[in-house]
Amino acid sequence: MKLQKFGHCCLLASEAGSRLLIDPGCFSTGLDTLRGLTGVLITHVHDDHLDVRRLRALLASNPDARIVSDVASAAALSDAGVEAEAVHAGDEVDLGVLVRVYGNEHAVIHPDLPNVPNVGYLIADRFFYAGDALTVPDRPVEVLALPVGAPWLSTAEAIQWLRVVRPRIAVPVHDCQHVIAETAPLTVPGPPAVARGGWP
């Protein structure tokens, strides 16, 4: 299997003639020249994993690519006129290689934020990409996409997940410094109130 990274969370997995692009989001770079995609796998609807506008442009150059996603992403894509197949944990999809689907929900960012669906993908029984969750698949993993920086993740959690999954190789993802995309709903206009004396 060949893996190529296009920034932050976006990877191209090539195996047995299949070319599967995973999570082309707003921090992805270099997507404009991609051709011959077999499929696009979307784990969840957050902008850093799904940039609908850019995906539509990419599909114009890859009209045969099959889109597979969680239910919320499928709905967002449908609203933009893009057909996607919504999948759930336990599903299996043939994209030239077998893709097994795991997981249900995004890891909790903050209790005040509504959660979104999140699915992970085991590609060719070799490479596991969980999206923004710490899902543990029910079979051995050779290569693991390991998130290394996120508002929903501590370093200790990432290390523990790596120890539990026990891949032969770990590939760092979710490493963009602009993870504010996930916490944008928490943004408050103006400075917070400060007791006695206001803003220094």
pLDDT category of residue 190 using cuts at 50, 70 and 90: very low
Of the pLDDT bands very low, low, confident and very high (cuts 50, 70, 90), residue 187 is: very low
**Across all residues in the chain, what is the average pLDDT?**
89
Predicted TM-score (pTM) of this structure = 0.87
Q: Which residue has the higher pLDDT, 190 or 171?
A: 171
Across 90-103, average pLDDT: 98
Question: Which residue in 106, 50, 102 sits closest to 73, CA to CA?
Answer: 50
Q: Can you give the pLDDT at residue 177?
A: 54
- How do residues 106-122 score in pLDDT, each as one tens digit? 999 989 988 999 999 99
59: burial class by Cβ within 10 Å (0-12, 13-18, 19+)? middle
**More confidently predicted of 138 and 194:** 138
Question: Which residue would you say has higher pLDDT here, 199 or 171?
Answer: 171
Place 186 in a pLDDT band, splitting at 50, 70 and 90: very low
Q: What is the pLDDT of residue 193?
A: 41
Residue 18 confidence (pLDDT) above 60:
yes
Tell me the average pLDDT across 158-181: 84
pLDDT in tens, 41-89: 999 999 999 999 999 999 999 999 999 999 999 999 999 999 999 999 9
Provide the token pair at 28: 């992805």
176 pLDDT more than 90: no
118 Cβ neighbours under 8 A, 6+ residues apart: 43, 44, 70, 103, 104, 105, 106, 107, 130, 131, 132, 133
Ordered by start, the domain boundaries in the chain are 2-183
Report the topology of domain 2-183. Answer: Metallo-beta-lactamase; Chain A (3.60.15)
